[in-house]
Structure 1
Amino acid sequence: MFRKAPAFWEKRGPISFILWPLSLIYSAVLQIRKLFQDLGLWVGKPVSVPVIIVGNIRVGGTGKTPIVIAVAQQLAQLGWKPGIISRGYGAKTQIIPLQVRSDSDPALVGDEPVLIAKLTHDNFPIWVFPQRSQSIAALLKQNPEVNVIVSDDGLQHAGLSRWPAREGGRDIEFVVRDARGEGNSFLLPAGPLREPATRERDATLIMGSQKAEVYPDGYFLGQRAFNLTSQLGAAFQLHHPHTTLSLADIATQYLPAKMTAVAAIGNPQRFFDDLQTQGICASGIALPDHSTFHASFFDSINAECILITEKDAVKCAHIQDERIWVVPMTLAIPDTLSQWMQAILARPDPHQPSQ
């Protein structure tokens, strides 16, 4: 329903105020759920390893998937053995947890998990299922050596018991924020927020050119924020991955009127803006997140060069079109964030009684 953010979510106006009473109902539901949790009436079973949740309070993507990849890779470099779980958005209805590999069908397990598997070369066990505790159980049974879980989203998943770092635990809750911020700051459906902007978190991960210091004290509960910077790499042909072109070469070889960028991600405009900073002024086609692709769609595009994201590329394996170029994106974890995660994960398990 909300795979593509409506324009009225960004600024308060007539439509958002008409829907505002429904937001009050949604807020009441959130408060009742929190009350049940506080009273111990709705508590999931804790898992034996620490869990790092990379989530967002805004509906739609804010750049979580590349962060999940970067966090898992950084943890591996630090000597940890991470596993990854995801809900598998865009997948067919699942009845049991499923393991994901780079050659898995995105229609069955979701496009983002397949992308994670491809970009990490199947180095980490990845499992998907709406009930995240069941995914963790299946993952740990199959891979008992895993000693930390990285969850792609799941902040609002009440069935996953956790003891966050801010409460003395070793689980970590990240809220990812991009340049769109909180829009009009209303809860669903009048605005884009799944939870209030003041939601507690262990840290805020800020994607893009924003700076944490521009916000007043108290905005980020936990008083900890990290800026993450992404970088676009050389593009490669969809069906000839070894054929590459730098973005500078693409900008030189093709006229702007002959280039089109396509993105079916949470924030397509960010992809278009990133391309523009590299000198590529292509027209943009923004599609709802997790959209599927057919050859007829690309056939209808009058362009000599079509640029797509890696996430969309995993759904285009059946499409033969030499005009399609995939633009990879990488992201590095700052040393300060890496050191902080290491310190938190090294804490003793708070679920176990003290000796």
Structure 2
Amino acid sequence: MKQGGPPDWWYSDAPVPLGARMLAAVYGRLVALRHALYRRKFLEPQRVPVPVVIVGNIAIGGTGKTPLVIALIERLREAGWNPGVASRGYGRNDITTARWVDKDTAPADGGDEPVLIAMRTGAKVRVDRDRVAAARTLAEAGCDIVVCDDGLQHYRLARDIEIDVVDTRRHGNQRLVPAGPLREPVERAAECDFRIVNVGGDDIAAGFGEWAMRLVPGEAHPLEGGRPKPLSMFAGQRVHAVAGIGNPERFFSMLRAQGIAVVPHAFADHHAYVASDFEFGSRLPVLMTEKDAVKCRGFSDSAFFSIPVRAELPEAFWIALLDRLPPRGVAA
């Protein structure tokens, strides 16, 4: 079994190995140099002809960006926008080639998260390691606003709104990688326009200046097709729970909160599944995240179910976000 998860010291008081601290110091100097080049105008962000909303995080690891992106697309549409999504497409086989992604794209070609976003929203999705090129292509294709998935550190793309997403682990030990989970110093989060805390389904209050996001599970969808089942049908039963996301425990806890007896199977984020990964030794229902399910349809059977989640945020957040955007049709 391939287990996922960060090093123990990222989210605990465990001592950080010397080698990790030394590498973090080198990485920190590189990050500071890059910031200085943009701050002093030696490097210039490139603007595209439509507004750009960045959804990202300071910390490495799954914090719930994809459900937020899906919710953002839906809310922008309700407000009259035609959003498109720019993504690097992490985990795809050929990251050098830009391409369109739709619901039928193989995850190995488009990346698991872009394929999931395309399936859930039907929005135009463009994967390209050059986010500026992706955003321009989306604008040329008729999108009047671009949502950039996981692009907070891609400074070459000028942005109108930045959203930093964390979960209840916050920024861990507040050290830079590999000594900690941070891609940038913790102070960078304060520069973002909105700070979202993924509290899962827990009754946890966000801190000052933060917005709480709750992930609400939907019904269990059979991967082979057919009518979905309420999660309550699995209450009191043992199931194999599969999660290849940045924080697998969040998925397992969500199922336990529904009264389901979880046999957890954590895989590395963006894991490329094969049939042998599911040789668990017992015939039980297999419940997995949507992100995992898009990679398992080729060898699933009647025991496999996908559990979608819906991101819920306060109405005041959506009002504040939409208020920050320019009028539709007006370049930012």
TM range (shorter): over 0.9
Give the Cα–Cα distance (whole angstroms) in 2 for the partners of residues 320 and 198 of structure 1.
Answer: 44
| Map of 2:223 onto structure 1 | 238
Matched, 1:132 2:163: no
Matched, 1:227 2:218: no
8 Å Cα contact 2:144-2:328 kept in structure 1: no
| Map of 2:72 onto structure 1 | 71
Structure 2 counterpart of 1:115, which letter?
Answer: L
| Map of 2:172 onto structure 1 | 183
| Map of 2:196 onto structure 1 | 205
Q: Report SS of the residue matched to 2:22.
A: helix
Structure 1 counterpart of 2:137, which letter?
Answer: A
**Pairs aligned (count):** 324
Matched, 1:6 2:3: no
Distance change >3 Å, CA 99–CA 230, structure 1 → 2: same
Distance change >3 Å, CA 176–CA 198, structure 1 → 2: same
Distance change >3 Å, CA 173–CA 69, structure 1 → 2: same
Task: Report 1:284-299 matches (<5 A).
Answer: 284-299=264-279
8 Å Cα contact 1:42-1:158 kept in structure 2: no
**Aligned-residue offset at 1:347:** 6.2
Give the Cα–Cα distance (whole angstroms) in 1 for the partners of residues 240 and 184 of structure 2.
Answer: 35
Give the Cα–Cα distance (whole angstroms) in 2 for the partners of residues 195 and 274 of structure 1.
Answer: 29
Q: Report SS of the residue matched to 2:261.
A: coil
Give the Cα–Cα distance (whole angstroms) in 2 for the partners of residues 201 and 306 of structure 1.
Answer: 38
8 Å Cα contact 2:174-2:181 kept in structure 1: yes
**Aligned-residue offset at 1:37:** 0.5
Q: TM-score, normalised by structure 1?
A: 0.86
8 Å Cα contact 2:89-2:95 kept in structure 1: no
Matched, 1:261 2:245: no
Matched, 1:161 2:152: no
8 Å Cα contact 2:166-2:196 kept in structure 1: yes
**Aligned-residue offset at 1:179:** 1.3
Structure 1 counterpart of 2:131, which letter?
Answer: R
Structure 1 counterpart of 2:289, which letter?
Answer: T
**Aligned-residue offset at 1:158:** 2.2
Give the Cα–Cα distance (whole angstroms) in 1 for the partners of residues 283 and 182 of structure 2.
Answer: 37
8 Å Cα contact 2:115-2:294 kept in structure 1: yes
8 Å Cα contact 1:97-1:138 kept in structure 2: no
Matched, 1:151 2:148: yes
Give the Cα–Cα distance (whole angstroms) in 2 for the partners of residues 294 and 351 of structure 1.
Answer: 46
Distance change >3 Å, CA 270–CA 315, structure 1 → 2: same
Structure 1 counterpart of 2:205, which letter?
Answer: K
Task: Report 1:304-323 matches (<5 A).
Answer: 304-323=284-303
Instruction: Give the alignment partner of residue 275 of structure 1, picking from 255, 262, 281.
Output: 255
The C-alpha deviation readout for 1:290-340, integer Å capped at 9, x for no partner, is 001111221344231111111111001211322111111111342111111
**Aligned-residue offset at 1:188:** 0.7
**Aligned-residue offset at 1:212:** 2.2
The C-alpha deviation readout for 1:247-283, integer Å capped at 9, x for no partner, is 111124x3x3xx2101001110000001111111211
Give the Cα–Cα distance (whole angstroms) in 1 for the partners of residues 328 and 66 of structure 2.
Answer: 28
| Map of 2:162 onto structure 1 | 173
Give the Cα–Cα distance (whole angstroms) in 1 for the partners of residues 61 and 158 of structure 2.
Answer: 24
8 Å Cα contact 2:242-2:288 kept in structure 1: yes
| Map of 2:96 onto structure 1 | 95
Compare 43-52 and 10-19 and name the one that shifted more.
10-19
**Aligned-residue offset at 1:351:** 8.0
Give the Cα–Cα distance (whole angstroms) in 1 for the partners of residues 126 and 161 of structure 2.
Answer: 19
Q: Report SS of the residue matched to 1:54.
A: strand
Structure 1 counterpart of 2:232, which letter?
Answer: A
| Map of 1:247 onto structure 2 | 231
Structure 1 counterpart of 2:81, which letter?
Answer: W
**Aligned-residue offset at 1:15:** 3.2
Matched, 1:193 2:190: no
8 Å Cα contact 2:286-2:304 kept in structure 1: yes
| Map of 2:82 onto structure 1 | 81
Structure 1 counterpart of 2:92, which letter?
Answer: A
Compare 9-18 and 65-74 and name the one that shifted more.
9-18
Indicate the RMSD between aligned Cα atoms, in angstroms: 1.9
8 Å Cα contact 1:46-1:351 kept in structure 2: no
8 Å Cα contact 1:111-1:311 kept in structure 2: yes
Compare 110-119 and 301-310 and name the one that shifted more.
301-310
8 Å Cα contact 1:84-1:149 kept in structure 2: yes
Distance change >3 Å, CA 301–CA 66, structure 1 → 2: farther
Distance change >3 Å, CA 42–CA 12, structure 1 → 2: farther
Q: Report SS of the residue matched to 2:162.
A: strand
Q: Report SS of the residue matched to 1:14.
A: coil
8 Å Cα contact 1:235-1:247 kept in structure 2: yes
Q: Report SS of the residue matched to 1:52.
A: strand
Give the Cα–Cα distance (whole angstroms) in 2 for the partners of residues 318 and 304 of structure 1.
Answer: 19
